[in-house]
Chain A
Amino acid sequence: MVDRPAPLQAQDKLAFLLALVPYLMDHGRVSVAEAAAHFRVKPEALRRAVRLIAVSGVPGATSSYQHGDLFDIAWDDFEDNDQIVLTHMVAIDDSPRFSAREAAALIAGLQYLSALPENIDRDAIGALMAKLARGSSASPTQVAVSGSESDETLGLVREAVAAGRRVEFDYRTSRGDSERRRVDPLRIESIDQDWYVRGWDAGRGAVRTFRLDRMSDLAVTDDAIVRHPGDVALPDALFEPSDEDLTVRIEVAEAALPLLGDYLTEDAPTRPSASRPGWVETSLRVAHFHGLKRLAAGMPGVLTVLEPQEARDAVAEWAAAGAARYRTL
């Protein structure tokens, strides 16, 4: 799945306005470029917000938004020099509090981070969480994440990334073969409890993603990495479809569809199943049938591969071989 920023909703725009006013008050004079960079928005979005603030205010004593009831800016500085100076302020004095859910999101995020094998100061994180709770307008909602297992491999890879050193490890693919790989680690990623390292595979001459739990005998070498994070484009999505992928037609229970997120293609034609109510027919992209047979066998009763026949056979053989082990005892 590709991460793409959602378009700003009216609520986001309001949050932006309420955040921008105190920032501008504190800064006295600031360029559009600097403020836009600080808030990580496009300069034009920032200009639009400033223009809106400049004509906004309170109904006032006459209930008719007289001049003194509105914010004002130094218009010449703004229009000619792209500089923002608030010259009149109303209603707002300070930054807003966090909402209960905003604070909860950050607190749960911190909890997740605190399980990392970093020298993150646990006391500092605790103090930060307490600050967030105090700075929210209602008690933060209770969202919690149990610590993930951070084993030795993760710590070593993290060291290698920080030091810019190449690593070597045995890697077992879902095909079942194992090979020594030499990799310049660029970024460590995780999804919930699963950890991955993405890096430049010297042997393959390409960027690859490795699951940490498929790596063994990891060694951090003395060799400096030859490809740096800035040199190589790392797409946001962990699993990029490739032209060599195989397309497989499947039938899946609608409720189980979200579990296939990483395999479904954006444009996969999906239609209700003709024979089974509550099921849909769609397509998956897989690198090879070895991954598919594991996926399908792990979703018993909710996913059936329809075609090609080789894919069906691969799944059937895998499952039948598994079942056969129970008949020999």
Chain B
Amino acid sequence: MAEPKNAPRVPVEERLFSLVLALLATESGLTKNEILSTVQGYRQRYRTGGDNVNLERQFERDKDDIRDLGVPLETTEAPDQPGNNHSLRYRIPRGSYELPADITFSNEETTLLNLAAMVWREGSLSGESRRALMKLRSLGVESDEPVLGYAPRLRSREAAFDPLSVALERHSIVRFRYLKPGESEARVRTLAPLALVQHQGRWHVHGIDQDVADKRTFLLSRIVGSVQPTGESFTDDGGDHAANALAELDAIWANGVGVLEVAPGTDAAARLARRKGSAVTGENQLTLHYSDMNLLADELAGYGPEVLVLSPPWLRDAVRARLEQTAAAHGRPVPAGEHEQGADEQTVEDRSTNEQGKERDHG
């Protein structure tokens, strides 16, 4: 549109690289106009005295891309013209860009970090891990032979993970729809995210719920639809939020106790007995811990006739109801009159401040 025609195409990485070089080299900073008119990749499309709206938008996006890589791009106002956007100066301070010279990694440490990065090879944070390894290799340290005998991996299949991890880094307040157990419709929550934690294999986001001005923990798998930034940001008080969230989830887990009868010699008997915290408390009887009754009910329903829940009553009813629902959905409705009246469903939230409950009721 407003850009000169026939401008030579400069690859994106060349423009970004040139921008970083220019901003590293300047002591006093460059104004946006100086950047757009002189830096490789912008200057070819710059119209002197003309409309450069598209180019300015490009620059805004490039700034975000560069910051995402951990490049500290600073903005300073001209002391004589505060508030004037056109006199803002941009630079990358060398001291906060460069890895401190005393930080070095041994071969052994490099090997460990390679393995740590490999943990994320599937999906979320795989890009971050890959780029972190690139920076590590920049130091020239070779890692020992990759550990072939081991391939541990973490993964997050929830679509909410990526936008939440970005919001964590930028300290931005986000909004999402969350389906609480027992509610038929998802409700909008506004959260200042403080930490992402995986507990018992499930991802949670911990943060300050803006509506109640208090800390809450949400299961990522119950977030419905997309996570949207509100445009507002917050200041992190610097606490050890991840450790606090995990400790809280551990406490809930320790409190939740279920007693089951398991058929001997079955998959359920073998696997449930091997779980962390499980104990055999009688003939074919097992006691286990859980942090979320609804997720446990789903899981136990999967074992079909191999498991009979003895207590608590609401877990018993929840598993029974799920099995009847599945049977009916596959053409075998439960005979009428045989359904016993169950106790009210109780969720974790009744016993703590946590937002936990039924997971898979989005449908």
Tell me whether A187 and B150 are in contact (CB under 8 A). Answer: yes
Contact of B334 among A146, A162, A323 (CB under 8 A): A323
- Whether A194 is near chain B, meaning CB under 8 Å from some CB there, is yes
Q: How far is the CA of A113 from the CA of B112 in the complex (A)?
A: 9
- Whether B196 is near chain A, meaning CB under 8 Å from some CB there, is yes
Tell me whether A59 and B39 are in contact (CB under 8 A). Answer: yes
Near A by CB (< 8 A), chain B positions 19-63 give 20-22, 24-25, 34, 37-40
Tell me whether A144 and B242 are in contact (CB under 8 A). Answer: yes
Q: Which residues of A contact B139 (CB under 8 A)?
A: 22-23, 95
Fill in one digit per residue for A1-38: 1 if any B CB lies within 8 Å of its CB, else 0.
10100100111111111111011001100000000001
Near A by CB (< 8 A), chain B positions 166-182 give 166, 168-169
A10-B16, A300-B323 known; A188 vs B138 contact (CB < 8 Å): no
A56-B40, A90-B25, A102-B131 known; A192 vs B70 contact (CB < 8 Å): no
Tell me whether B17 and A137 are in contact (CB under 8 A). Answer: no
- Whether B96 is near chain A, meaning CB under 8 Å from some CB there, is yes
Cβ of A280 to closest chain B Cβ, rounded Å = 10
Q: Which of A77-85, A200-208, A239-247, A251-259 contacts B (4 or more CB under 8 A)?
A: A251-259
Q: Which residue of A lies closest to B329 (CB)?
A: A304
- Whether B280 is near chain A, meaning CB under 8 Å from some CB there, is no
Q: Which residue of A lies closest to B332 (CB)?
A: A316
Contact of B140 among A27, A125, A137, A320 (CB under 8 A): A27
Cβ of B197 to closest chain A Cβ, rounded Å = 5
Tell me whether B134 and A39 are in contact (CB under 8 A). Answer: yes
- Whether B115 is near chain A, meaning CB under 8 Å from some CB there, is yes
Give 6 new A-B contacts, CB below 8 A, not counting A112-B119, A143-B196, A254-B363. A38-B140, A58-B25, A59-B22, A105-B128, A192-B198, A294-B267
A12-B131, A14-B17, A145-B154 known; A137 vs B96 contact (CB < 8 Å): yes
Tell me whether A190 and B169 are in contact (CB under 8 A). Answer: no
Q: Which residues of B contact A22 (CB under 8 A)?
A: 138-139
Q: Which B residues contact A (CB, under 8 angstroms)?
A: 11-14, 16-18, 20-22, 24-25, 34, 37-40, 65-66, 68-72, 94, 96-101, 103, 105, 108-109, 112-113, 115-122, 125-132, 134-135, 137-140, 142, 148-155, 157-159, 165-166, 168-169, 194-201, 224, 238, 240-243, 245-246, 249-250, 265-267, 270-271, 274-276, 298-299, 301-308, 316, 319-320, 322-327, 329-332, 334, 338, 340, 360-363
Q: Which residues of A contact B242 (CB under 8 A)?
A: 142-144
- Whether A265 is near chain B, meaning CB under 8 Å from some CB there, is no
Q: Which A residues contact B (CB, under 8 angstroms)?
A: 1, 3, 6, 9-20, 22-23, 26-27, 38-40, 52-53, 56-59, 63-65, 90-110, 112-113, 116, 120, 124-125, 128, 131, 134-139, 141-146, 148-149, 151, 158, 161-162, 172, 174, 176, 178, 186-194, 213-214, 216, 229, 253-256, 258-259, 261, 276, 278-279, 293-302, 304-305, 312-313, 315-327
Tell me whether B24 and A97 are in contact (CB under 8 A). Answer: no
A10-B13, A14-B17, A26-B140 known; A113 vs B115 contact (CB < 8 Å): yes
Contact of A295 among B134, B142, B199, B302 (CB under 8 A): B302
Q: How far is the CA of A322 from the CA of B196 in the complex (A)?
A: 36
Tell me whether A319 and B330 are in contact (CB under 8 A). Answer: yes
Q: Which residues of A contact B37 (CB under 8 A)?
A: 63
Tell me whether A323 and B320 are in contact (CB under 8 A). Answer: yes
Tell me whether A293 and B304 are in contact (CB under 8 A). Answer: yes
Q: How far is the CA of A13 from the CA of B168 in the complex (A)?
A: 24
Q: Which residues of A contact B316 (CB under 8 A)?
A: 326
Tell me whether B97 and A96 are in contact (CB under 8 A). Answer: yes
Count the A-B residue pairs with Cβ separation under 8 angstroms: how many?
A: 419
Contact of A103 among B40, B69, B120, B132 (CB under 8 A): B132
Contact of B69 among A15, A90, A139 (CB under 8 A): A15
Contact of A52 among B13, B155, B196 (CB under 8 A): B13
Cβ of B36 to closest chain A Cβ, rounded Å = 11
Q: Which residue of B lies closest to A194 (CB)?
A: B201
Q: Which residue of A lies closest to B238 (CB)?
A: A139
Q: How far is the CA of A295 from the CA of B330 in the complex (A)?
A: 14
Contact of A321 among B103, B126, B149, B304 (CB under 8 A): B304
Cβ of A106 to closest chain B Cβ, rounded Å = 5
Q: How far is the CA of A279 from the CA of B152 in the complex (A)?
A: 33
Tell me whether B128 and A304 are in contact (CB under 8 A). Answer: no
Q: Which residue of A lies closest to B250 (CB)?
A: A146
Tell me whether B121 and A178 are in contact (CB under 8 A). Answer: no
Q: How far is the CA of A14 from the CA of B213 in the complex (A)?
A: 40
Q: How far is the CA of A128 from the CA of B18 in the complex (A)?
A: 33
Q: Which residues of A contact B307 (CB under 8 A)?
A: 322
Q: Which residues of A contact B243 (CB under 8 A)?
A: 144
Q: Which residues of B contact A108 (CB under 8 A)?
A: 119, 125, 154
Tell me whether A312 and B331 are in contact (CB under 8 A). Answer: yes
Closest 6 CB pairs of A and B: A99-B70, A298-B302, A109-B116, A253-B363, A255-B362, A144-B242
Contact of B131 among A15, A56, A318, A324 (CB under 8 A): A15
Tell me whether B112 and A128 are in contact (CB under 8 A). Answer: yes
**18 A-B pairs with C-beta separation under 8 A:** A11-B127, A15-B69, A18-B20, A18-B138, A27-B140, A63-B34, A109-B116, A109-B119, A138-B70, A138-B72, A148-B201, A158-B150, A172-B270, A174-B267, A304-B329, A316-B331, A322-B307, A326-B323
A105-B129, A300-B298, A323-B334 known; A97 vs B99 contact (CB < 8 Å): yes
Tell me whether A323 and B127 are in contact (CB under 8 A). Answer: no
Tell me whether A98 and B135 are in contact (CB under 8 A). Answer: yes
Cβ of B293 to closest chain A Cβ, rounded Å = 14
Q: Which residue of A lies closest to B98 (CB)?
A: A94
A105-B125, A141-B168, A194-B201 known; A298 vs B65 contact (CB < 8 Å): no
Tell me whether A297 and B134 are in contact (CB under 8 A). Answer: no
